[in-house]
Amino acid sequence: MESRAKLLGHPIHPMLINFPLGLLPTAVIFDIVHAATGNVMWAQASFLMIAAGIVGALAAAIFGLVDWLAIPSRTRAKRIGAYHSIGNVIVVVLFAASGILRYRAAAIPSSLALVLVFVGLALAVVTGWLGGELVDRLGVGVADGANLNATSSLSRHGDDGVVHGTPHPAAR
């Protein structure tokens, strides 16, 4: 199924996810650099990355919701999309809570503010994989002939019943 929200023929949601997927992990990296160097500039930059990442995530969420609503009910794609979106809402809440904790003292993030971004990043890895499963495995948003009930990409057996992960005989 093709995306319902497009710009110049391309789905908008995948265009926008690059911002939170880049900015929020960068905030965590900047926090690590701050911890290693003690230079407050890195903690302040992390605070700004969190703010920008949240704005980007909220923009991407609008178009992700439009696409999710178009997925037929009772399909694996609808279920994976729900996990993906709920997980990403939690990611945004974790980063937002960290940002709020940093608001008055961005140069000195508390331990709790740091824990929140590390947990948020770990969850973002999972939700990012789920998003990849939606697009790469199920074809949501990119293929009119999408298989909305395809098996997991972690499964040894694909939709065709062939065992995957073993090289083709000609490749041996």
Q: Model confidence over 66-97: pLDDT tens digits? A: 989 988 899 888 999 999 999 999 999 999 99
In a domain, 96, yes or no: yes
Question: How many domains are contained in the chain?
Answer: 1
pTM of the model: 0.84
Q: Model confidence over 92-108: pLDDT tens digits? A: 999 999 999 999 888 89
In a domain, 1, yes or no: no
In a domain, 171, yes or no: no
In a domain, 126, yes or no: yes
Q: Are 140 and 150 in contact (CB under 8 A)?
A: no
In a domain, 167, yes or no: no
- Alpha-carbon Rg for the chain, nearest whole angstrom, is 19
In a domain, 39, yes or no: yes
Q: Coil, strand, or helix at residue 139?
A: coil
In a domain, 165, yes or no: no
Domain coverage including residue 41? 6-158
Looking only at the bridges linking them, the beta strands covering 10-11 and 6-7 are: antiparallel
Q: Model confidence over 38-52: pLDDT tens digits? A: 999 999 999 999 999
In a domain, 146, yes or no: yes
